[in-house]
Amino acid sequence: MSTYNPCTMKIMYSWLLGMIFYNGLFISTGTVASPRPDVVNIGAILSFNTSVGKAAKLAIEAAVHDVNSSPDVLNGTKLILAMQDTKLSSGFLGIVEALRFMENDTVAIIGPQQSVIAHIISHIANELQVPLLSFAATDPTLNSLQFPYFFRTTQSDGFQMAAVADIVGYYGWRDVIAIYIDDDHGRNGVSALGDKLAEKRCKISYKAPMSPKLSREEITRTLLKVNSMDSRVFILHISATWGLDVLINAAREMNMMRSEYVWIATDWLSTVLDTESSPNSAAMDSIQGVLTLRMHIPDSEPKKKLFSRWNNILTASNYTENSRFGLNTYGMYAYDTVLLLAHSLDEFLNQGGNISFSNDTSLTEFQGGRLQFDAMSIFDGGNKLRDIILRVNITGVTGNLKFTSEGDLFHPAYEVINVIGTGIRTIGYWSNSSGLSVNFSDPDKHNANSKQQLYGVIWPGQTTKKPRGWAFSNNNGRQLRVGVPNRINYREFVSRIENSDNSYGGFCIDVFNAAKEELPYPVQYKFVPYGDGHKNPVTLDLLHMITTGALDAVVGDITITTNRTKMVDFTQPYIESGLVVVAPVWKLNSSAWAFLRPFTPMMWCATGVYFLLVGAVVWILERRTNDEFRGPPRRQFVTIIWFSFSTLFFSHRERIASTLGRFVLIIWLFVVLILNSSYTASMTSILTVEQLSSPVKGIESLVTSSEPIGFQRGSFAENYLTDELNIHKSRLVPLNSIAEYEKALRDGPSKGGVAAVVDERAYMELFLSTRCEFGIVGQEFTKMGWGFAFPRDSPLAIDMSTAILTLSENGGLQRLHDKWLTRSACSSEGTKQGVDRLQLQSFWGLFILCGSVCLLALLFYLIKMIREYTRHSGQISPQSGRLRSFLSFVKEKEDHHHEEAEGKSESKSSRSIRDQRVHSNGRVHGEIMMTP
């Protein structure tokens, strides 16, 4: 049994009062934070011997020293930094070093430097809730929701690739070749580049991945491969360790640093040049004319102070004069990463955050092993610290440090640099808000409509002329294989020159040669004929040889159609040639009846009927009130005929008295005016233009008929007639030669020939130049052209199109056309009969209007007569005599009824006056009698 000890009880009582006081204070306020720790452990993972790592190492150490020396950041709490070297991007060592940090109660890790390691360590950070702040892992996929504890405190490669794509688009290149290291950093960066190029309608024509464990032999093999490609624009997205070796090899061994080559290196090259204080002169000679990017950091006071301290930092780190290096942009971002973490930790502690760790229950099954996984613990405040980092907003050496909702820093920007001589020259800037410009502007005040612009560039080969960006593949000096159709007719377009193996002439060949001469570079080629020489080759088969690689181009009379553009790329059309209809025609000679040609027979009949109709309607409306329309039947008939046809010349003299008659006449005179004007215009055309007549009026009459139609074998006209115009294939007759054309048209359908031939205008103009008995009837019913065919996405197709436009502007195309395709006077543009003769359908609206007015006037007149007849008769006549009585009433002159009515009215008035007089006389007489 224990004894009572007053001292012990006194101590316990004091401790209890202290606890009660402390807990009461905590409960009453509710915000009392745990005491600030004296130190906070942070880690850093980077490669010390790389251009990025050695500058970042000193920058991080300087930043930790500045934070610990400043009373304004952590309020007395010190940062304890532990750094680990990953030995030149070793992913395995990066994992091991990260695990070691997790055993030492580390609240955050600065790094890793490489994107490959960042992908792996981010999974560990997610599990243990430790933030990763990387100043150099630029892989754009690290921003995904998969890694919530990863923070990129530098610019993403997504923006850098957008800048590269803008440069490619600015200079007008379409295809590029990407050379990269086949790891997470390289693959994902090139993938982002492909997306950005697609927005500019450009593409990566070839990807050249290289092993992360690169060797000089692999560099040589890769350069040999890409040098055999057509594109001459190379995007080099590689690590700084091997980047210069690739460029030096390309320059010295592969001769790929001459004119017409373009090299765009990502920011690894600017990092190397900024870090190395005195680059090797031989290395500088090998990279002349290369373009590279550098993250743009605006000038500021913190930046100037850090640069002025840099030599002192190197001296304090025992770097000799010969081993010194410069401060690159990644070093500045590493410095700011420490500041960002320090301010975030300060806010974390101010909000009552507690630096504490707990065991990860998921690792208990690994207890007892040599790796000691159970020693790793979860940072209890990691989630809170992560949220604070996302909200941080400070100003550092690199400018404003603030994260967007996507996890990127605000206002990404790059400098566009040209390597010249012994140094570099900034030729412009790129920002996410304004694109390319020669002056960097405030991203918050940019002009979205500003013109994209860069200063002049000294390209590889010491030239200021912009490279075209592509060349024909080497292929052991193989010439361009140009297919030409071996035609048996229309040799004015394509034909083999006699006594020659590979020489061709004609309009199409001359245009191709003239366009080739306009190109700014030589093109070696040879013609490859296609066809057996007995019939015209099928154009689709010839174009299909381009898709299989058997031909590099096709030159000839190749029509550009929708289906063909799905197979190959065409140049700008160098001649227009739509489908037309050719049929036998004959000249319409002048005759005594030429005045009847302006109107068709149906139009003449309709016009005559309406003249008589209008005359009859006016006669009906006027005969009861107008003496000029009365008289014996013979006289009335002559009046109707005279009045009707005199309105044709507006010479009618009969007076129109009724309102309805005047209304009908006004409408009819308007119709006559239109008919007179149309007749005069058509007659003038007939008398001044040569007229041709043909039983075929155009494609419309061919479609509705059942007669056979000829077409050129192998042309697209067959598919057009069947697919677009729904003409049955049995009606189509393939023809091979000009002689077959002529024979089929002369024989006609009755003798086994054709009613017409449908072919392209360019062919038909040559055919008709010496055959006056045929002509083009109707209008051209398609609008197409001829072009030269090349493989899909061929840069040569674009340059040839530009050359064709140049020929068109300087008159070269017209001169070649006149040389080969000049037509004789016999050739006709087509029959005019179907166009000049006026059809009834052109005037049916006027005739309907006039007829409707006549019917309406007659209806009103009938209603008026019925009302007057009813009022005149005064009683209902027997049913048998009503119609006869009404017709008699209508035939009577209206003045007679007015006289009878006036007579009755006068009789009544006379009787009334007489009665008044009698009454008045009687009264007067009475008054006289009564007078005395």
Helices 659-688, 844-873: inter-axial angle, 10-degree rounding: 160
Q: How confident is the model at residue 876 (pLDDT cuts 50, 70, 90)?
A: very low
Q: What is the pLDDT of residue 626?
A: 66
pLDDT surpasses 90 at 79? yes
For residue 228, what are the CA distances in angstroms to 298, 665, 766? 42, 86, 45
Residue of 811 and 884 predicted with greater confidence: 811
pLDDT surpasses 60 at 849? yes
Any bridge partners for residue 413, and if so which? 431
What does the buried/exposed string (b/e) look like for 392-410 if buried means 16 or more CB atoms within 10 Å of the residue's CB? beeebbbbebebeeebbbe
Q: What is the pLDDT of residue 881?
A: 63
Q: What is the pLDDT of residue 827?
A: 45
Percent of the chain with pLDDT strictly greater than 70: 78
Q: How confident is the model at residue 869 (pLDDT cuts 50, 70, 90)?
A: low
Q: What is the pLDDT of residue 848?
A: 78
Q: What is the pLDDT of residue 301?
A: 94
Name which of 180-194, 267-281, 474-488, 520-534 the model is least confident about.
Answer: 474-488
pLDDT surpasses 70 at 213? yes
pLDDT surpasses 90 at 274? yes
CA distance 176 to 207: 9
Q: In this structure, are residues 895 and 627 in contact, taking their beta carbons and an 8 Å threshold?
A: no
Q: How confident is the model at residue 601 (pLDDT cuts 50, 70, 90)?
A: confident
Q: How confident is the model at residue 217 (pLDDT cuts 50, 70, 90)?
A: very high
Tell me which residue of 263, 174, 260, 262 sits closest to 522, measured CA to CA. Answer: 260
Q: What is the pLDDT of residue 230?
A: 86
Mean pLDDT of 421-447: 83
CA distance 503 to 157: 53
User: In the 8-state DSSP scheme, what is residue 557?
Assistant: S
Q: How confident is the model at residue 7 (pLDDT cuts 50, 70, 90)?
A: very low
Residue of 322 and 876 predicted with greater confidence: 322
User: In the 8-state DSSP scheme, what is residue 607?
Assistant: H
Mean pLDDT of 649-658: 69
Mean pLDDT of 502-525: 89
pLDDT surpasses 60 at 444? no
Look-up: residue for tokens 């004609």? 506
Q: How many CB atoms lie within 10 A of CB 498?
A: 7
Q: What is the pLDDT of residue 366?
A: 54
Tell me which residue of 180, 168, 184, 233 sits closest to 210, measured CA to CA. Answer: 180
Residue of 331 and 28 predicted with greater confidence: 331
Q: What is the pLDDT of residue 20?
A: 35
Residue of 78 and 881 predicted with greater confidence: 78
pLDDT surpasses 80 at 853? no
CA distance 414 to 271: 13
What phi, psi does 261 have (nearest 5°)? Answer: -100, 145
Q: In 357-463, which ranges are E strands?
A: 357-359, 377-379, 393-396, 399-402, 413-420, 423-431, 435-437
pLDDT surpasses 50 at 744? yes
Name which of 339-348, 615-624, 701-710 the model is least confident about.
Answer: 615-624
Q: How confident is the model at residue 681 (pLDDT cuts 50, 70, 90)?
A: confident
Q: What is the pLDDT of residue 241?
A: 83
Put the strands of the sheet holding 203-210 in their side by side order: 203-210, 175-181, 233-237, 262-265, 291-295, 413-420, 423-431, 435-437
Mean pLDDT of 452-461: 92
pLDDT surpasses 70 at 143? yes
Residue of 26 and 618 predicted with greater confidence: 618
Residue of 396 and 641 predicted with greater confidence: 396
Task: Write down the H helix ranges in 560-691.
Answer: 562-565, 601-622, 633-646, 659-688
Q: 42-51, 589-598, 767-776: which has the highest mean pLDDT? A: 42-51
pLDDT surpasses 80 at 842? no
Name which of 352-361, 683-692, 827-836 the model is least confident about.
Answer: 827-836
Q: 574-583, 688-697, 834-843: which has the highest mean pLDDT? A: 574-583
Q: Is the pTM of this model over 0.75?
A: no
Q: Which residues contact 324 (CB under 8 A, 6 or more apart)?
A: 277, 311, 314
Mean pLDDT of 805-825: 86
Q: What is the pLDDT of residue 299?
A: 92
Question: Tokens standing for 254?
Answer: 């592969």
pLDDT tens figures, 93-133: 667 776 777 677 889 999 898 898 898 889 888 888 999 99
Mean pLDDT of 786-801: 91
Mean pLDDT of 869-897: 59
Tally of residues, the chain: 932
Q: What is the pLDDT of residue 932?
A: 33
Tell me the torsion sign for CA atoms 782, 785, 790, 796: negative
Name which of 222-236, 585-599, 649-663 the model is least confident about.
Answer: 585-599
Mean pLDDT of 274-292: 86
Name which of 383-397, 734-748, 900-914 the model is least confident about.
Answer: 900-914
pLDDT surpasses 50 at 264? yes
pLDDT tens figures, 292-302: 999 999 999 99
CA distance 490 to 741: 12
CA distance 473 to 225: 11
Mean pLDDT of 766-786: 87
